[in-house]
Amino acid sequence: MGGPDAFARMWATVLTETGYVAMDHRGLVDQVREYTEVLLAALRSPRFNPVPVEGVGAGLVALRLTASRALATSLQLIGEELLRVVDTPDLKAERLPAVQGAFANGFATAMQYKIFRDQEAIRRAALDARRGAESALLASEARFRAMFDQAAVGIAIADARGVLVEVNTALATMLGYQVRHMRGMNVNALRFPNEPAAMHQPLLEMSVGERDHYRMERLLRRSDGTPLWTDLSVSLVRDETGVPQYLVGMFEDITERHLLEDRLRHQANHDPLTGLGNRALFTERLSAAFACGGDTRVGVCYLDLDGFKVINDSLGHDIGDDLLVAVAARLDDLVTAPGRMVARMGGDEFVVLIERSAGPDELVALAEKILAALAEPVPIGGHRLSVSASIGLVERAVVGATPAETMRDADVTLYWAKADGKNRWAGYDPERNAREVARFTLSARMPAAVESEEFYVDYQPIVRLSDSKLVGVEALVRWAHPEFGRLGPDQFIGLAEETGLIVPLGRWVLREATRQARRWHDAYGSRAPLVSVNLAARQTEEPNLVADVATIIKAANLPPSSIQLELTESAIMGTTGGPLQALHDLADLGIRIAIDDFGTGYSNLAYLRHLPVHAIKLAGSFMEGLRDGAEADPADAQIVTTLVALSHALGHEVIAEGVEDPGQAEQLRAIGCDSAQGWLFAKPGRPEEIERWLEV
Ligand code: C2E
Ligand code: MG
Ligand code: MG
């Protein structure tokens, strides 16, 4: 490892080869060594300041290292060698492009000033030559000649019509002519074909005296037809009366700088590993596609390899890289139509942009082709790697949409394809998205909602069928959502189970319900209703369930038998091990256990015998067939009869749910069902409404 000195020596040597250096070699090395320190400081500092680095670019111009090659080779050396030669851990490699950019910028700006100054000098010399006395004329003409012939920049003097009167060797060489061949040529002959007409305008204005100066980058035509990029600046020289007499033009060859810019632009827009366009290029093209407006449609096919991390971790990053290259090549082969591009978004994510899409079908067809192309194993390093991808498709009119929304939707859709089982495509579905956003919004707010008591509990009467007396109530949770209004449990209980929030929420409901039970006990003594509380399957898996329940009931100072816990059939039946033990422990505490929605699952009635169950709640769906008239279904009546008989035989009480009309109640009574719950008696409501039942 050579350090900054070695780099500076290398740099100085390279610079010497680009042109004449007005300094001895040691001096140059010292100077370049200082510049190296500036670059290293820029690569180290936590915040990037371009100014000192621009100073280094300008420094080269000050050393008269003005050839494009001096810039090009310096940039190359900085890019390729600096980190290699000076490798200390605090250097930030990712800073390199910014450093190169600032350096090139400093160089270009300094060059512009220099050309301007040179031009002024020539113009003044030309003026002096014309205006001065005879002797002075001779002297200044000599000065003029010297400058003219030795200048590194190309210089041309034309008359007002544009006929070249004089050109210097530098210009003739740039254009591939002999000086003598150029004299008498019209400047128009140097134009590159197809140059936009606007480029000619300034020169026309100058030849009629409407303009004194102009400067622009222009493309000229070399004698062999090849293009020459120049930085051209032209000044007008008038005679004593102000009539345009000469045009003095200065040309700097910036072809290499242009090529370099092209290369840098390419580098900035392409992924070095796969050669595909990168995120920056994709974003630019996507924005351009949206800018078309009108009835243009655009499609995005967002793709992520399945399980790429495993390949990377198990077979190493080299194999991983090879795989990405192979995938990129397959995608590139598939996407050839104009207005379609593949880009690598980073990692194992790729995207296909479909400008002016013909409709969703086109995207689906493409996605199918991609999945098929990837299904073929990839031979890499002696392995045959199988790879698949998940693809999110978004296709829409550009009007009314934005690129950012589109990419967000593509990302969501890709996630669906993964969640739905991978190796597939998914299409964007605004309704699914709205549902998920709502779910997400709800689950995000839920923890705070438990804290801030946005939940409340309604109670629904459970009525004894023999005498229509209130025997119990079911506690049913509701959410007074500040934005969405009142939400029923069907809208959030499932979500709470998925996120695990059902545990604190369920605990809160139980505490709230036992407090209410306490109040009723205080007010009505033995007439107080049994309070039945729902328990989610997820809660029975909580190791602390029994202790929590015991604590809550104890805190309310209630007899445990005044509380009933409802578990759904599937939660109870699937219960083994820890949860089953918990159920027994709860029953041992004296708490009643009920099976909720009985008959909707696959109950093993024989198994029921071994469970600590006190009551069965018959699912509301059986009540349909117990209605009078056309809806009456004798099968339902038969099933209910059998279930009631069976439950009684096992010693379980039976509560019918969802009783909505008197006919149902009548049949249930006849069958011998113990109690019932439903809109016929009351809808779930505030605790005060329950009190009306107790006061009569
Ligand atoms: P569930 O335990 O079977 O509760 C009975 C549901 O039937 C309640 O719906 C109730 O309002 C409704 N209902 C009552 N009478 C009738 C009727 O005559 N006809 C009809 N069609 N429906 C009737 P809700 O309040 O929407 O509760 C739905 C489910 O949410 C409950 O079903 C229960 O599984 C769950 N749930 C409610 N609160 C809690 C809770 O605190 N914890 C847990 N884990 N789940 C709860
Ligand atoms: Mg229930
Ligand atoms: Mg139920």
453 shares a domain with 416? no
For ligand 1, atom 10, which residue shows the shortest CA distance?
684
216 shares a domain with 314? no
Quick one: pLDDT at residue 138?
A: 53
Name the pLDDT band for 188 (thresholds 50, 70, 90).
confident
Last residue of a domain, one of 369, 396, 428: 428
- Closest ligand to the CA of 665: 1
DSSP state of 385: E
| Tokens linked to 35 | 């510049």
Residue 320: domain span? 274-428
Q: How far is the CA of 139 from the centre of ligand 1 (A)?
A: 109
Q: How many domains does the chain have?
A: 4
| Tokens linked to 316 | 């190493």
CATH number at residue 98: 1.10.490
Domain-located, residue 447: yes
Quick one: pLDDT at residue 133?
A: 44
CA separation for the pair 301, 328 (Å, rounded) = 14
For ligand 1, atom 42, which residue shows the shortest CA distance?
534
pLDDT digit string, tens, across residues 541-561 = 888 999 999 999 999 999 999
pLDDT of 223 higher than 60? yes
CB 492 within 8 Å of CB 442: yes
Name the pLDDT band for 592 (thresholds 50, 70, 90).
very high
Domain-located, residue 123: no
- The residues near 628 (Cβ < 8 Å, ≥ 6 apart) are 661, 663
653 phi-psi bin (left φ>0, alpha ψ -120 to 50, beta other): beta
pLDDT digit string, tens, across residues 103-117 = 888 888 888 788 778
Domain-located, residue 179: yes
182 shares a domain with 321? no
Tell me the three-class secondary structure of 239-265, residue by residue: CCCCCEEEEEEEEEECHHHHHHHHHHH
Q: How far is the CA of 566 from the centre of ligand 2 (A)?
A: 6
CA separation for the pair 98, 3 (Å, rounded) = 22
- The residues near 643 (Cβ < 8 Å, ≥ 6 apart) are 598, 599, 616, 618, 654
CATH number at residue 571: 3.20.20.450
419 shares a domain with 309? yes
CA separation for the pair 666, 673 (Å, rounded) = 10
Task: Please state, for a pLDDT cut of 70, what percent of the chain lies above it.
Answer: 96
473 shares a domain with 410? no
- Lookup result for tokens 């400008």: 355
pLDDT digit string, tens, across residues 275-319 = 999 999 999 999 999 998 889 999 999 999 999 999 889 989 999
Domain-located, residue 143: no
> Residue type at 446?
M
| Tokens linked to 375 | 């299904």
| Tokens linked to 576 | 């083994």
Quick one: pLDDT at residue 681?
A: 97
Task: Please state, for a pLDDT cut of 90, what percent of the chain lies above it.
Answer: 55
- List CB-based neighbours of ion ligand 3 within 5 Å: 596-597, 657
Q: Please provide the DSSP assignment of 100-125 as one string.
A: HHHHHHHHHHHHHHHHHHHHHHHHHH
CA separation for the pair 477, 274 (Å, rounded) = 56
CB 634 within 8 Å of CB 625: yes
Quick one: pLDDT at residue 129?
A: 56
Which one of 463, 493, 593 would you pick to mutate in the ligand 1 pocket, going by the greatest count of ligand atoms within 8 A of its CB? 493
CA separation for the pair 140, 148 (Å, rounded) = 12
540 shares a domain with 403? no
Cα–Cα distance list, 380 to 129, 311, 315, 656 (Å): 74, 12, 11, 66
Q: How far is the CA of 636 from the centre of ligand 3 (A)?
A: 17
DSSP state of 391: E
Q: How far is the CA of 146 from the centre of ligand 1 (A)?
A: 101
The mean per-residue pLDDT over the stretch 199-227 comes to: 88
- Closest ligand to the CA of 477: 1
Q: How far is the CA of 645 from the centre of ligand 1 (A)?
A: 25
Q: How far is the CA of 474 from the centre of ligand 2 (A)?
A: 7
Q: How far is the CA of 375 from the centre of ligand 1 (A)?
A: 48
Domain-located, residue 26: yes
Number of Cβ within a 10 Å radius of residue 150: 10
pLDDT of 137 higher than 60? no
For ligand 1, atom 45, which residue shows the shortest CA distance?
534
For ligand 1, atom 17, which residue shows the shortest CA distance?
658
Find the radius of gyration of the CA atoms of the chain: 43
For ligand 1, atom 35, which residue shows the shortest CA distance?
489
Q: How far is the CA of 532 from the centre of ligand 2 (A)?
A: 8
Which one of 450, 463, 474, 476 would you pick to mutate in the ligand 1 pocket, going by the greatest count of ligand atoms within 8 A of its CB? 476
CA separation for the pair 321, 319 (Å, rounded) = 5
Q: How far is the CA of 451 from the centre of ligand 3 (A)?
A: 27
Cβ-in-10-Å burial (0-12, 13-18, 19+) of 183 comes to middle
CA separation for the pair 573, 183 (Å, rounded) = 103
| Tokens linked to 83 | 């980190």
Helix, strand, or coil here: 126? Answer: helix
419 shares a domain with 385? yes
Which residues form ligand 1's pocket by a CB distance below 6 Å? 460, 476-477, 488-490, 493, 506, 509, 534-536, 566, 596-597, 620, 657-660, 677-679, 684
CA separation for the pair 35, 662 (Å, rounded) = 97
CA separation for the pair 537, 460 (Å, rounded) = 22
Which one of 657, 675, 683 would you pick to mutate in the ligand 1 pocket, going by the greatest count of ligand atoms within 8 A of its CB? 657
Domain-located, residue 140: no
CB 504 within 8 Å of CB 493: no
Quick one: pLDDT at residue 128?
A: 64
Domain-located, residue 145: no
Last residue of a domain, one of 259, 283, 310: 259
**Closest among 416, 448, 442 to 430, alpha carbons compared:** 416
CB 155 within 8 Å of CB 148: yes
The mean per-residue pLDDT over the stretch 340-358 comes to: 95
CA separation for the pair 330, 352 (Å, rounded) = 12
For ligand 1, atom 33, which residue shows the shortest CA distance?
534
pLDDT digit string, tens, across residues 614-662 = 999 999 999 988 887 777 888 889 999 999 999 999 899 999 999 999 9
239 shares a domain with 289? no
Q: Mean pLDDT score of the chain, rounded to an integer?
A: 89
Q: Which residue has the higher pLDDT, 346 or 564?
A: 564
First to last CA, the chain: 98
Q: Which residue has the higher pLDDT, 128 or 631?
A: 631
158 shares a domain with 228? yes
Name the pLDDT band for 266 (thresholds 50, 70, 90).
confident
**Closest among 529, 477, 491 to 694, alpha carbons compared:** 529
Q: How far is the CA of 476 from the centre of ligand 1 (A)?
A: 6
Last residue of a domain, one of 114, 140, 170: 114
512 shares a domain with 403? no
CA separation for the pair 32, 211 (Å, rounded) = 42
Q: How far is the CA of 460 from the centre of ligand 3 (A)?
A: 11
**Closest among 28, 36, 30 to 4, alpha carbons compared:** 36
| Tokens linked to 306 | 């399945």
For ligand 1, atom 44, which residue shows the shortest CA distance?
536
- The residues near 130 (Cβ < 8 Å, ≥ 6 apart) are 237
- Closest ligand to the CA of 450: 1
Domain-located, residue 135: no
Burial letters 408-427, b for 16+ CB under 10 A, else e: ebbbbbbbbbbeeeebbbbb
pLDDT digit string, tens, across residues 395-447 = 999 999 999 999 999 999 999 999 999 999 999 999 988 888 888 888 888 98
Number of Cβ within a 10 Å radius of residue 663: 17
Ligand 1 nearest-atom number relative to CA 488? 26
- Closest ligand to the CA of 512: 1
285 shares a domain with 251? no
Name the pLDDT band for 135 (thresholds 50, 70, 90).
very low
Give the torsion sign (CA, 301, 302, 307, 311). positive
Give the torsion sign (CA, 606, 609, 610, 614). positive
Burial letters 362-371, b for 16+ CB under 10 A, else e: bbbebbeebb
Rounded (to 5) percent helix, strand, coil in the chain: 55, 20, 25
- Closest ligand to the CA of 655: 3
Ligand 1 nearest-atom number relative to CA 496? 44
- The residues near 248 (Cβ < 8 Å, ≥ 6 apart) are 119, 122, 123, 126, 155, 156, 157, 234, 235, 236, 237
403 shares a domain with 303? yes
CATH number at residue 243: 3.30.450.20
